[in-house]
Amino acid sequence: MTLHFEHVTAPQRVLFGTGRAAEKVAAEVKRLGAQRVMVIAAPSESVVAREVTAGVAVAVHHDDVAQHVPVAHAERARRVAENHAVDLVISVGGGSTTGLAKAVALTTGLPIVAVPTTYAGSEATNMWGSTEAARKTTGVDDRVLPIAVVYDAALTVTLPVELTVASGLNALAHCVDSMWAPRADPIDRAHAGEGIRALAEGLRRILADPGDIVGREQALYGAYLSAVAFSSAGSGLHHKICHVLGGAYDLPHAHTHAAVLPHVLAFNAPAAPEAERRIAVAFGSSSAVDGLEDLRIILGAPRALRDHGFTDDVIPEAADLILASVPPSNPRAVTAADLRMLLHAALIGEVPSMG
């Protein structure tokens, strides 16, 4: 089969080094010539954020962070940036923190230096999202792509194992979706396959020893690859489902991805044999679905959406909301009935099987 595709590589500096975040952040601020820096970090990350930015002249620290980036929070952060004449935003934290920095950049054009402390991957994409009136809106805009990312595995060591697992499976979901998302190409699939391998190795090592820096580095490396693949390939069925569930029902982002992923994989895999084979090989398994399930069992991964506030009575509404955004390129046609069955399986934490 001949190859024919178009791939765009996003312009971004990636600085990777354990224990060197403060040094690299200061160097980036100097390189960019920034004089008035806004640091965004949730209250739980405030100590880490101040340590990471110790060598930077900070104009304002901002901690009004909430998951799914509510529009009101975004507007307040933009006003803070304007009132302090900010010329650079530094985000220190997980996906919600990076998302708020992106909301500022979307309307101001301010550059972002992202310092991730989870495996969310938002720092390596040009995608943004916000929530208003129980609906999540997403978009793509090059203004929100951080100009630089500083990866330091030491910053993830205090992330509890349970959150590490959920966040890592969120990154795995980026990889899986990138196998068949609307713009998926061979480069995306190569990144995604290596991302799955690195994440699976890293998460297993972290579970055995939460302080294992090599495991943390592998997980961060895999999360970066997952985000690069996802940014290029676009949002597939899995992410369309999770965006609706997060925005409409305020479900926790990473846990929702972890619970939904196996069911989307089981649904799509029979219609995408090449992608299924790549995923299986990355897991070191004869089956993509079995490989993911084996990893989830080892990790004690989040399994049932009902554990996070989702209820059976809203499934019909959720299925209708999701159906409107299903990518036409999904390997398998999707009906409302399919989505109701998938959501029920994720609700109760059913063991997935290809069908």
Render pLDDT for 125-135 as a digit per residue (tens, 0 to 9): 998 988 887 77
Q: Is 189 helix (H, G, I), strand (E, B) or coil?
A: helix
Strands 13-16 and 148-151: parallel
Both tokens assigned to 19: 């224990």
Strand partners, 113: 90, 148
CB-side neighbour CA atoms (13 Å) of 350: 13
Q: Is 291 exposed, middle or buried (0-12, 13-18, 19+ CB in 10 A)?
A: buried
Length of the chain: 355
One DSSP character per residue, 248-298 reads HH---HHHHHHHHHHHHHHHHGGG-HHHHHHHHHHHTSS-HHHHHHHHHHH
71-83 and 95-108 are packed helices; what angle lies between their axes, rounded to 10 degrees?
60
Specify the pLDDT at position 1. 62
Strands 58-62 and 88-93: unpaired
Render pLDDT for 151-171 as a digit per residue (tens, 0 to 9): 999 999 999 999 999 989 999
Distances (CA, A) of 233 to 152, 184, 192, 225, 274: 26, 4, 10, 12, 16
Both tokens assigned to 313: 């009575």
Specify the pLDDT at position 3. 83
DSSP 69: -
Average pLDDT by stretches of 10, the chain with 355 residues: 81 96 98 97 96 96 93 96 98 95 97 96 91 82 96 95 91 95 95 98 96 96 96 93 91 90 97 97 96 96 94 97 95 97 96 76
The radius of gyration of the chain from alpha carbons, rounded to an integer in Å, stands at 19
**Rounded CA gap, 311 and 126, in Å?**
32
The domains located in the chain, with CATH, are 14-156 (3.40.50.1970), 161-348 (1.20.1090.10)
**Rounded CA gap, 202 and 252, in Å?**
23
* Cβ-based neighbours of 198, under 8 Å, separated by 6 or more: 218, 219, 221, 222, 225
